[in-house]
Amino acid sequence: MSLPAIAIHGGCGTLAANLQSEADWAQTRAHLEAALRAGWKILTAGGSALDAVEAAVVVLEDSPHFNAGHGAALTEQSVHELDASIMDGATLAAGGVCTVRAIRNPIRAARAVMDQSDCVLLSGDAADAFARSKGLPTVANGYFTTERRVQALASLKARAARGTIGLASEAERHG
């Protein structure tokens, strides 16, 4: 019998104080805490690490403050293409999806690939269709868009037009 533990991240970068308000930072920390508690609740009830990490990531995907799910970065074509994976250390079973555009929570699709297919990684429209066939909720691609990401893309495209893309900050490139 082990004592449970869980850790999460919401991405690394410049995290410059002037990129968002103190209220935004407070909400960011609140969402991190909510993700931890979602996973911890499962672990302390005797649930699996696999279920705990999935639950924690779902909370972060649903938050606008992180680059995943709602709040994800935009491609050069102003759409969202999302990637996710999950791995079970007990069995080395793993599942992943890449460049999906419609599954609300890509980590749930990754879990479905692991549990309900013979594959490890599915991509694009086929991955969206697979997840849909397993009953996972889908959304219009615009669901993932936030104003911050729209501005970030516009800023980077403006730099490219001016020929100053090389001067773009880490925050502009990666959020």
Partner 1 sequence: TVGAVALDRQGDLAAATSTGGFNNKPAGRVGDTPIVGAGTYARNGVCAVSCTGQGEVFMRRVAAYDVAARMSYGGQTLRQATDTLVFDVMSGHKIGAGLIAIDAFGQVCAPFNTLGMARGWIGTDGVLNVATHK
- 8 Å CB contact between 74 and 145: yes
Between 32 and 102, CB nearer to partner 1: 32
Tell me the per-residue interface mask from 124 to 143 with partner 1, x by CB under 8 A, - otherwise. Answer: --------------------
Q: Considering only residues 63 through 92, tell me which ones interact with partner 1, judged by CB under 8 A.
A: 65-69, 71-77, 79-90, 92
CB of 108 to partner 1, least distance (A): 10
CB neighbourhood size of 50 (10 A): 19
Contact between 94 and partner 1 (CB under 8 A)?
yes
CB of 167 to partner 1, least distance (A): 14
- The single residue among 119, 120, 129, 139 that binds partner 1, judged by CB under 8 A, is 120
Q: 51 Cβ partners below 8 Å, 6+ apart?
A: 42
Long-range contact list for 21-28, CB < 8 A, 24+ apart?
24/65, 27/65, 28/63, 28/65, 28/66
What amino acid occupies position 24?
D
CB of 135 to partner 1, least distance (A): 19
